[in-house]
Chains A and B, each alone.
Chain A
Amino acid sequence: MAITSVKNLKEFSTTNERFEGAHLLCPGCAHSMIVRELMNCSDDNLVISTNTGCLEVSTAVYPYTSWDTSWIHIGFENAATAAAGAEAMYKARKRKGTLKNPDAPVKFVAFGGDGSTYDIGFQWLSGAVERGHNFTYICLDNENYANTGGQRSSSTPIGASTTTAPAGRVSYGEKRNKKDMMAIMAANGASYVAQVAPNKWKNMAQAFQKALSIDGPCYINALSACTTEWKFDPKDTINISDLATDSLVFPLYEIIDGTELNITYRPKNVLPVKDYLAAQGRFKHLFKPENAHILEEWQKRVDEKWEYLQRREEARV
Chain B
Amino acid sequence: MSNVLSNEKRGMHELGAEKKVGWDEVTHGVVLHSFEDDATDVAMRKAEDRKYSEFSSYTATVASWRVIKPVYNRDICIDCQNCWVWCPDSSIISRDKQILGIDYDHCKGCGVCVEVCPTNPKSLLMFGEAMSSEDAIAQWPVKEKKEK
- A interface residue numbers (CB < 8 A to B): 9-14, 16-25, 27-33, 36-37, 42-45, 59-69, 101, 104, 198, 201, 227, 233-239
Q: A9-B80, A235-B110 are in contact. Are A101 and B115 (CB under 8 A)?
A: no
| Given A16-B43, A20-B58, A237-B88, 9 more pairs with CB closer than 8 A | A13-B84, A17-B90, A22-B61, A25-B88, A42-B43, A44-B43, A65-B34, A68-B35, A235-B114
Please name all residues of chain B whose beta carbon is closer than 8 Å to the beta carbon of A22 when the two chains form the complex: 11, 15, 57-58, 60-62, 89, 105-106
Contact B96–A62 (Cβ < 8 Å): no
Instruction: From B44, B82, B90, give the contact of A20 (CB < 8 A).
Output: B90
Q: Does B140 contact A (CB under 8 A)?
A: no
Q: A22-B61, A36-B90, A237-B88 are in contact. Are A10 and B79 (CB under 8 A)?
A: yes
Q: What CA separation (Å) do A20 and B40 show in the bound complex?
A: 17
Please name all residues of chain A whose beta carbon is closer than 8 Å to the beta carbon of B90 when the two chains form the complex: 17, 19-21, 32, 36
Q: What CA separation (Å) do A27 and B86 show in the bound complex?
A: 12
Return B75 CB to nearest CB of chain A, in Å: 19
Q: What CA separation (Å) do A62 and B15 show in the bound complex?
A: 10
Please name all residues of chain A whose beta carbon is closer than 8 Å to the beta carbon of B30 when the two chains form the complex: 62
Contact A63–B21 (Cβ < 8 Å): yes
Query: What does DSSP make chain A's interface, helix, strand, loop or mixed?
Result: loop
Instruction: List B residues 46-60 near A (Cβ within 8 Å).
Output: 46-47, 50, 54-58, 60
Contact B55–A63 (Cβ < 8 Å): yes
Instruction: From A10, A18, A27, A65, give the contact of B88 (CB < 8 A).
Output: A27
Q: A64-B32, A64-B57, A64-B60 are in contact. Are A32 and B85 (CB under 8 A)?
A: no
Return A11 CB to nearest CB of chain B, in Å: 8
Q: What CA separation (Å) do A42 and B56 show in the bound complex?
A: 21
Contact B62–A24 (Cβ < 8 Å): yes
Contact B47–A37 (Cβ < 8 Å): no
Please name all residues of chain A whose beta carbon is closer than 8 Å to the beta carbon of B89 when the two chains form the complex: 21-23, 27, 32
Q: What CA separation (Å) do A237 and B89 show in the bound complex?
A: 13
Return A49 CB to nearest CB of chain B, in Å: 14
Instruction: List B residues 64-111 near A (Cβ within 8 Å).
Output: 65, 79-82, 84-91, 94, 96-97, 103, 105-111
Instruction: From A21, A42, A69, A237, give the contact of B62 (CB < 8 A).
Output: A21
Contact A30–B115 (Cβ < 8 Å): no
Contact A27–B15 (Cβ < 8 Å): no
Q: A17-B90, A235-B114, A238-B86 are in contact. Are A63 and B32 (CB under 8 A)?
A: yes
Instruction: From A42, A68, A233, give the contact of B42 (CB < 8 A).
Output: A68
Please name all residues of chain B whose beta carbon is closer than 8 Å to the beta carbon of A66 when the two chains form the complex: 56-58
Give 27 CB contacts A-B under 8 Å. Answer: A9-B80, A9-B81, A9-B82, A10-B80, A13-B85, A16-B42, A18-B42, A18-B43, A21-B62, A21-B103, A22-B61, A24-B62, A27-B110, A28-B111, A30-B88, A32-B88, A33-B88, A62-B32, A63-B55, A64-B55, A64-B60, A65-B57, A68-B56, A201-B85, A234-B112, A237-B86, A237-B88
Q: Does B39 contact A (CB under 8 A)?
A: yes
Q: What CA separation (Å) do A42 and B28 show in the bound complex?
A: 31
Q: Does B19 contact A (CB under 8 A)?
A: yes
Q: What CA separation (Å) do A11 and B84 show in the bound complex?
A: 12
Q: What CA separation (Å) do A104 and B39 show in the bound complex?
A: 13
Return B128 CB to nearest CB of chain A, in Å: 16
Q: A19-B90, A66-B57 are in contact. Are A28 and B85 (CB under 8 A)?
A: no
Chain A residue with Cβ nearest B56: A20
Q: Does B26 contact A (CB under 8 A)?
A: yes
Please name all residues of chain B whose beta carbon is closer than 8 Å to the beta carbon of A238 when the two chains form the complex: 86, 112, 115-116
Contact B65–A27 (Cβ < 8 Å): yes
Please name all residues of chain A whose beta carbon is closer than 8 Å to the beta carbon of B26 when the two chains form the complex: 62
Contact A61–B15 (Cβ < 8 Å): yes
Q: A14-B96, A104-B40 are in contact. Are A9 and B85 (CB under 8 A)?
A: yes
Please name all residues of chain A whose beta carbon is closer than 8 Å to the beta carbon of B112 when the two chains form the complex: 28, 234-235, 237-238
Q: Does B45 contact A (CB under 8 A)?
A: yes
Contact A64–B56 (Cβ < 8 Å): yes
Q: What CA separation (Å) do A17 and B106 show in the bound complex?
A: 14
Please name all residues of chain B whose beta carbon is closer than 8 Å to the beta carbon of A28 when the two chains form the complex: 88, 110-112
Q: What CA separation (Å) do A67 and B85 show in the bound complex?
A: 18
